[in-house]
Chains A and B, each alone.
Chain A
């Protein structure tokens, strides 16, 4: 399901409000992907990050307290000389004043920090509509600014903006779903106390404060990876020791070094291969850790991975396991590649087809006895494309594969390009399962289009009536018609390419919702060829496929919401 059903969302809230779930159940929900389609992920994350207690009756005072604290911090750290609450003495509140207590001196001193943050916030998830919104951008800037000022030892570092972004997304998404549920009278059966708690929790006036509190908690875990390294003189070269082993100064590089060492336990051939090529984890892993894998997975899958990561604090162990799982997941690609090929796979991680199987592998590494290892046959990825849906730089680079692949890999390569064999008997059930899933997705998509078309037709009819009666201004009608047009247009796959026209704020709001990426858990639509390959070739897809047949990763189903 894409949107939680009426009873679904109510049931979700009730589970939290009635304190039915304990922390253990919460963790299980996180690991099994229950929040992939939920409206309560933000609540789960707030509990996991200890921003909220598990008992819902304590939520309101706790959250109000944290909002008050943020307001104080914000007024202390964000200098706004034009704020009427500021000193009004013209001797002090004066841009030319050199007095240290002048709000302007602080304002100017912060200018560099503001520019630095804005430069990154402006480039946050350019493919997601929400982050193009001016208010959201300004909210993110403020949160990062207050954090940098309140944590002067670390300040603002590039990457923090993409830790904040998923948190903002989840808060916003849940707030929207709550609002819809409320407007649709889905929450009628809740008592007043429960409704009040939900209202306070989803109060959009406090987005900034709530995002800040979540961000601080996540950063508490990530600080070591953002710290500056100490400055050391390059040591004398020492025989038998490589520089990367001797000059590790930051905790980030140390952590990456340790992860690299652990690969030796989990996958010795892969470890040897990467070591021989002189590709230490430090070379490619900085971004993986600092962004908590934010560039390696599409947002819905990333949020699910974060469910798993945040439910296993302190997070460094599970992060290490996700890291290792990412390497093992593309091991065949890596083993068959040379230095350049490996780095391009690691710097542009190929899209993971089945994030559930991937998560299972990471959880297996975390606790091998408790979590079984997924069958290797489930581990598939698109090695010939990037997450953005463009052709992977390694695609078609067969001649580059200089290292000796293992025999199994070699035979697989030999098979490549030959006629696809028919399904084996034991593969049929799985193939059928995938086809059925695809048919269900297509059916669902058709249903959604029906709904959107029906709603649009109704709105047009109403507008025509208004037009006849003359009860609405032409401008309003035009705006609404344009909106309807955009809603209908958003049904098509290429909606993002349309040039946005001038929109009223109310429209923007609606369009933003309509263009939001699909809620997690939606299977992609596969091309028929892809499906065949998914089933016949478990490890790699043919590189000879023309790019036009590739289905870009971001072309997932999206339904506009009214």
Chain B
């Protein structure tokens, strides 16, 4: 229905993944350029915003960090609604966190219910790449998975050492922004307005009576 740029460039990004893979650390590294090993477990969700320039355009990123144990509806729909990009995070030293990516992706699609699930922008982040000696998931394996999901962009990052975090989030913002121009009506929360002016009514293209 609507084309052209939105009034405000606002991107809603949701980070999902198993407990302890470093979602909170990634968000804080990106927004505050800080790392701490004193983060507490996220309960429910957390939220931070960051203003960034993407190709000369000022964009406000709203980053939603989630609890690794939250599943199935427990956060409520309001939380997922209107997401522009979903960041899936796993820990390269923990193969279970990699195996669970499928269910995180599926669950997001069920909860957020975007119009075009096959082309909704996901990004995969493999965190803790600084712990190379403990690696349990090879880059190859992760890349193969990404290819099988319609070529999800993949980044290996380290929130601790601030490796690739900035560039990964830049890519996330870019992806979500590119997506925005294609379709800003992903989430059919509100049905289209019913226009009362008969001349302007573009919904009944055939004209005449439908009964």
Contacts and interface: CB of A to CB of B under 8 A. Distances in A.
A273 B62 CA distance: 20
A349 to B, nearest CB: 12
B20 A119 contact: yes
Contacts of B38: 123, 126-127
A511 to B, nearest CB: 19
Using C-beta atoms within 8 Å of the partner chain, give the interface range for chain B: 35 or more
A393 B45 CA distance: 16
Interface stretch (A238-246, A469-477, A552-560): A238-246
A250 interface: yes
Nearest to B46: A347
A252 B40 CA distance: 22
Given A229-B74, A234-B113, A247-B73, A295 B19 contact: no
Interface in A336-382: 340, 343-344, 347
Contacts of A393: 31, 48-49
Interface string B59-84: 01010000111011111111101000
Interface stretch (A22-30, A54-62, A155-163, A319-327): A155-163
Tell me the dominant secondary structure on chain A's binding face.
Answer: loop
Given A252-B74, A393-B49, A291 B43 contact: yes
Contacts of A252: 74
Contacts of A291: 43
A271 to B, nearest CB: 16
Interface stretch (A66-74, A279-287, A447-455, A500-508): A279-287
Contact of B41 (A158, A340, A344): A158
Interface in B6-21: 19-20
B189 A242 contact: yes
B5 interface: no
Given A250-B73, A250-B74, A290 B41 contact: no
A232 B191 CA distance: 21
A231 B189 contact: no
A116 B100 CA distance: 15
Given A158-B68, A243-B78, A237 B189 contact: yes
Contacts of B79: 282-283
A385 to B, nearest CB: 14
Interface residues of A, number: 46
Nearest to B191: A239
Contact of B73 (A162, A249, A280, A347): A249
A347 B47 contact: yes
B117 interface: no
Given A126-B38, A228-B74, A286 B45 contact: yes
A278 interface: yes
Interface string B118-144: 000000000000000000000000000
Contacts of A123: 38-41
B102 to A, nearest CB: 17
Interface string B27-56: 000010000001111111111110000000
Contacts of A243: 77-78, 81, 189
A228 B69 CA distance: 11
Contacts of B42: 158
Contacts of A286: 43-45, 74-75
B72 A228 contact: yes
Given A116-B19, A237-B191, A282 B76 contact: yes
A444 B154 CA distance: 58
A232 B40 contact: no
Nearest to B68: A158
Contacts of B47: 284, 343-344, 347
B60 A340 contact: yes
Contacts of A237: 188-191
A244 B78 contact: yes
B44 to A, nearest CB: 3
25 contacts: A116-B69, A123-B38, A124-B40, A158-B69, A159-B43, A161-B41, A162-B40, A228-B74, A229-B73, A234-B113, A237-B188, A237-B190, A239-B191, A243-B189, A248-B76, A280-B76, A282-B78, A283-B45, A287-B45, A290-B43, A290-B44, A340-B49, A344-B49, A347-B46, A393-B31
Which 4 residue pairs are nearest across A and B when measured between Cβ atoms? A286-B44, A126-B38, A229-B73, A287-B43
Interface of A: 116, 119-120, 123-127, 157-159, 161-162, 228-232, 234, 237, 239, 242-244, 247-250, 252-253, 278, 280, 282-287, 290-291, 295, 340, 343-344, 347, 393
Interface of B: 19-20, 31, 38-49, 60, 62, 67-69, 71-79, 81, 110, 113, 188-191
